[in-house]
Amino acid sequence: MKKLLMFFAMVMTSITMMAQSQFYVILKDGSGASYPENIVDSLTFNDQNGAKIYGFEDLAKSIAQLRREVDSLKGIMSILAVDTSSYIHEYVDLGLPSGTLWATCNVGAKKPSDYGYYICWGETGPKSNYGQISGRWNGEDRASLRSKGVIDQYFNLTSQYDAATVLWGEEWRTPTGEELEELVRYCRQDWVPEDGGYGVCGIKFTSISNGKNIFIPCAGMKRNNEDVMVGSRGYYMSATSEGSFATDLYLSQESVNIGSRSVNQGIPIRAVRKRANDRPFVDPNDTIINGHAYVDLGLPSGTLWATLNIGADSVQNVGNRYLWGFPSTDIPFDAENGWKGASLDHLVQYNVTDSTGTLLADRDAATESWGGQWRMPTHEECEELLANCETEFVTYKGTLCCKVTGRNGHVMYVPSTDDNGCSAWSSSIYSTTNDTRSYTFHIFNPELIEDWTNDFAERNKLLPIRPVVNR
């Protein structure tokens, strides 16, 4: 106990000398936690396993309270420099493909069963008012949030607006929507009742690769200044913006899924970090080309597929539709049939395709719109994608999409373009002897059509485009 008291006293001495202060609690069993001084009210000791910190109204009160608790401690206390970013907050390696490490407790919690802080998206701490329009970023769209530096090019919170980073240090952050999906995809979810060992209801996520697990309690939310679904439902914030909503993780006894939550609602955060020397899950130097994001699905050719269609601002959005061989959505009135009746010789003669029937760069909408090395996929690249990835139709953020999963576990979503499935143009003509059709990247909805192969379409059809790029 004496060592513990000395530790607290030394920390308090350092607090008086530093602008941004933290209280550090180290228990006899080796576990620990840290708390910002502005949320601590008082400090008391118990007789079992160390100290409990409850929070201080102000720094002066905290020092006075500490002095009363440790008045037997004499002498000069040296300042202790503590790097808490690596060990104060424990984490578990679930063996996820991205290398993401998940905290064992919520932000603001002392143990896995604690609910922790309730925080509105884009804010950096708990508050007293969770009114209907109390969120700082209520009514802001992605463009506005991006211009103000709240989100990055992936629509994820930047560090200064990320509560996990602000409260726990630069190694920690709020998980992205993709990382929530990864947790659900690569872990088994088991409902834990109130008498299941944690004292509260929640979900245990157990890794399918290494058997390790984390427990996430059903902490409910704060909405309209009321506690909602506490103990029966869980809502966990992601860093990913959807405008006035943000992607979240939903937990209940019946289901675990990814949804969205209003930025006005206070919900918990389960923070994440990375293994040392691992590439970040979203690396601006590695996953953006010419301002557009891609996903590496581990294809043999190394082809990288864009995460969005041309003209789309989200994966649910189909984006712009084009006639094949016309790089602009502004179609001349006399070109309504496109290149429907053009033979290969005709297409070559008018500099539309090369001799193999592949669109030239200035006729490629992806190259013209996105620049750089972006282009429309060839027929062969569409075939490669379908041959090396799993596909399933899911409702993603309220929209029917095809979820394409590579052998490396990375995921791409393609929104449905019609009742039959997902379609987009390739850069390849269907046949050197057919004057009307070109290949499409097409995934059929198995509930309607059993054939899951590439398709073709008449060249005067308006379809979206999902670009590709090579390393």
Q: What pLDDT, in 10s, does the model give residues 370-397?
A: 988 899 999 999 999 989 999 888 888 7
Summarised one tens digit per residue, pLDDT across range 183-221 is 999 999 999 999 999 999 999 999 998 999 999 999 999
Number of H helices, E strands in the chain: 8, 25
For residue 82, the number of C-alpha atoms closer than 13 Å in the C-beta half-sphere is 23
Q: What is the pLDDT of residue 39?
A: 66
More confident residue, 467 or 49: 467
Closest CA to 187 of 214, 212, 205: 205
Q: Mean pLDDT in the chain?
A: 79
Q: What percent of the chain has pLDDT over 70?
A: 74
More confident residue, 266 or 457: 266
Query: Strand ranges (DSSP E) for 384-465?
Result: 389-396, 399-406, 411-415, 421-429, 437-444, 455-458
Q: What angle do CA 105, 26, 109 make, to 5 degrees?
A: 20
Is residue 311 scored above 70 in pLDDT? yes
Q: What is the pLDDT of residue 69?
A: 52
**Backbone phi, psi, residue 195, to 5°:** -95, 25
Other residues' Cβ atoms within 10 Å of the Cβ of residue 82: 17
281 residue type, one letter: F
CA distance 18 to 414: 50
* Residue 253 pLDDT class (50, 70, 90 cuts): very high
CA distance 389 to 277: 28
Summarised one tens digit per residue, pLDDT across range 92-149 is 999 888 889 999 999 999 999 999 999 999 999 999 888 777 788 888 888 888 888 9
Q: What is the pLDDT of residue 16?
A: 41
Contact 401, 319 (CB under 8 A): no
Contact 401, 416 (CB under 8 A): yes
Q: What is the pLDDT of residue 31?
A: 52
Question: Has this prediction a pTM greater than 0.75?
Answer: no
